[in-house]
Amino acid sequence: MKFYSKITKQPESVMVVEKDGLKELSRKRLCQFKDGVCETLDAKIIAKLKTHPERFRTDKPWPTDFWQDTPEGKRLLKKGESLGIDIRHIRKEYLIKLITDIENEKKGIKPEDAKPKETPLKEIVDKAKSMAIPTNRRRREDILKDIENKEVIINA
């Protein structure tokens, strides 16, 4: 009979301990799970493991909490591998970002990092002062609107 354990990362041993009060008389290994699986035909072992259904099951392996094991995770890993991304030990969010960056690059869309830089506030203030626009305790957007309005009036 095949039993599955919740612990899969390391071997897990099921022990039988005989005690006399607080003193441990003997300790024997009943069976050992490797990679969360133990196959046995011994009736004693089967009976002992069936007494703990919260730790051992016979129908199917315990579900994992890893994003790589979900259908979406498998799809992302396959897509990343086809795009040539090193997917070993990668976080989900980073993989999604890399995939979208590579796809946008193929489509010709510039990455978000290539946004035009904002002009420094000092330059805006200098330009506003040269046009006689007040700048004291005013927001950048308000100063820029006044500069645009004054440029339109001058050019008209």
**pLDDT per position as a tens digit, 68-90:** 988 999 999 999 999 999 999 99
| Residues contacting residue 29 through CB under 8 Å, at least 6 positions apart | 13, 14, 15, 16
Mean pLDDT (the chain) is 89
| Residues contacting residue 57 through CB under 8 Å, at least 6 positions apart | 3, 4
pTM (2 d.p.): 0.45
Of the candidates 69, 70, 75, 113, which has an alpha carbon nearest to the alpha carbon of residue 96?
Answer: 75
Mean pLDDT of the region 120-147: 92
Q: Is the pLDDT of residue 114 over 60?
A: no
Report phi then psi at 23, rounded to 5.
-85, 130
Q: Which amino acid, residue 136? A: N
56-57 and 2-5 beta bridge pairing: antiparallel
- Asked whether the beta carbons of 102 and 86 are under 8 A apart, the reply is no
Task: Report pLDDT digits (tens) over 10-38.
Answer: 888 999 999 999 999 999 999 999 988 99
Q: Which pLDDT band, with edges at 50, 70 and 90, does 156 fall under?
A: low
